[in-house]
Each structure stands twice: as structure tokens, then as C-alpha cells.
Homo-oligomer: A and B are copies of this chain.
């Protein structure tokens, strides 16, 4: 029907989380909280002769995207993803690419799935690829998502922090999500569960940031550069935390710029995954 379609999915920074593996990738996932960003991924899909997947113009191997194309029988899709966000730095680019691909393929190939079905397909693809546990369901929702239960839409309930703060971030480099998630996650999960209980009792952006800051230290994930940045922001009277999982520091308002950094600035994205209007 539609020749070509484009979907947008916001970036997502997790502040804290607990890992909940499961043999069923639909039930596997994470609990925790994060922020969805006005910076995200636009994915344009059209039918072609052979499958091709590009990120910012460069051919790329994104396992979760390939899995989504297989699940929707879009073997000949031409997928062009564009994003200002860095890969591997804790912004959920892989999950956003998978979810936006699912939305755009559904429109072009008329595969007639509901939104929950598309989110479920992308969540499973991301879990199977080992590149994320909770980004997709958060990115499908928008706002400041709280993941109450692990898993895709058939399993996991979500809630949110009702706020729309300005967001600043600085990326120093990558952290391997696969390495962290495949290691011993017991201490991390205990710290994540404590943070989640505390946030539900006081669901505000400042509390989210303080709990995220503490989580990175308790889970022993804090990098030197993010640790230094947090110290400087705190000395300037602000607060900041680390993106899970990337060598990235983020803050609300102007707390990073007030501490002398030159951050990238965006806002919380109120909506989740969205198909671009076709008319």
C-alpha cells in the first residue's frame, strides 16, 4: 500500500535497573527507570531487491533489526536509520532502530500488527541479540518510564514520572552492554530493586537522578570520567548520573553546563514510537 514509511523512536537512557533473564525472550527483561529523549532514531523503510540496513548512511550489522525483518517477513526491505545519538553509549540506539523498523515495515508491508505486537517483536529481538533488556518497552511509551515488571507488553507493566525536564548529556565513550549483562548481575539487581522502590515512593526527576547516581556506584559500573563529571556537577550545586550502559553522564536543567561542560541538550520526549504522517 504505502511505498515508503518512516518511524521515529526516542532515545532512552536508563538510570538504574535490575536484570531478569528468562528462557522466554518475551518474559525476559529488566525493571528500572529512565528518560526518553527528543533525540532518537528515524528509520525509513521501502521494499527493495535485497535486504540492506544502513545507519547514518553506512552499512551496519544490527542483529535486532535483522531479527525484526525476519519476524515480519520483510526479507527484501531497504532500511535507512538516521540518528544524532552515538551507538554503544547508553542511548538505546539498537532498541530504537529495531522498534522503528517494526513500525515502518508494518506500514510498508501491511503486516497488520497492533502496537503491542510490534513492541513485542522488537523487545524479543533486542533480548535475543543481548544488546538490551528494557529499552524497547520504555521507548514505546515515551516520557520518564518506570518499568514495574520485566518483559514485553504482554508481561511488563509500566508507569512514569510526570515531568518534562530539559536534559543535558556528555558522552566520553562506550561500555559493552553484552559484557555487563552476561556477567554476575546479582549485586546490580539488588541495587536496582532498592532504587525502584524508592522512586515509586517519591516519583520526581530529582529523586530519579539521585537514585541513579547512587546505583552506578553500588552496582560498580561507574567509569572514571563519569565519576569525575558527577563530582564536578555536585560541587557546582547540581546533580548528575551515568547512562546505563555507556560512558555517558546526564543531568537535568543546566547542571552540566553550570559545571563548565559543553553538553548536548535535548528534552524529554512525551510520545513513544511514532509513525510519521503519510499525508
Q: Which of A252-279 contact B (CB under 8 A)?
A: 253, 267, 270-279
The 3 closest A-B pairs by CB, nearest first: A271-B271, A270-B271, A115-B160
The complex places the Cα of A166 from the Cα of B159 at a distance, in Å, of 29
The reply to whether B277 and A114 form a contact with Cβ atoms under 8 Å apart is: no
Q: Which of A152-189 contact B (CB under 8 A)?
A: 153, 159-166
A253: which B residues are within 8 A, CB to CB?
279
The reply to whether B200 and A279 form a contact with Cβ atoms under 8 Å apart is: no
The reply to whether B200 and A162 form a contact with Cβ atoms under 8 Å apart is: no
The reply to whether A203 and B166 form a contact with Cβ atoms under 8 Å apart is: no
The reply to whether B161 and A114 form a contact with Cβ atoms under 8 Å apart is: yes
The reply to whether A164 and B114 form a contact with Cβ atoms under 8 Å apart is: no
Asked whether A142 is an interface residue with its Cβ less than 8 Å from the other chain, the reply is yes
Q: Which residues of A are in contact with B by a Cβ distance under 8 Å? A: 103, 106-107, 112-116, 118, 142-143, 146, 153, 159-166, 200, 202-204, 253, 267, 270-279
The reply to whether A275 and B164 form a contact with Cβ atoms under 8 Å apart is: yes
Contact of A162 among B118, B160, B165, B270 (CB under 8 A): B118
Contact A162 to B106, CB < 8 A, known contacts A112-B203, A115-B143, A202-B112 = yes
Best-buried of A153, A165, A253, A275 by chain B (most CB within 10 Å)? A275
Contact A277 to B166, CB < 8 A, known contacts A114-B200, A115-B143, A159-B114 = yes
The complex places the Cα of A164 from the Cα of B116 at a distance, in Å, of 16
Q: Which residue of B lies closest to A1 (CB)?
A: B204
Contact A274 to B279, CB < 8 A, known contacts A118-B162, A160-B116, A204-B112 = no
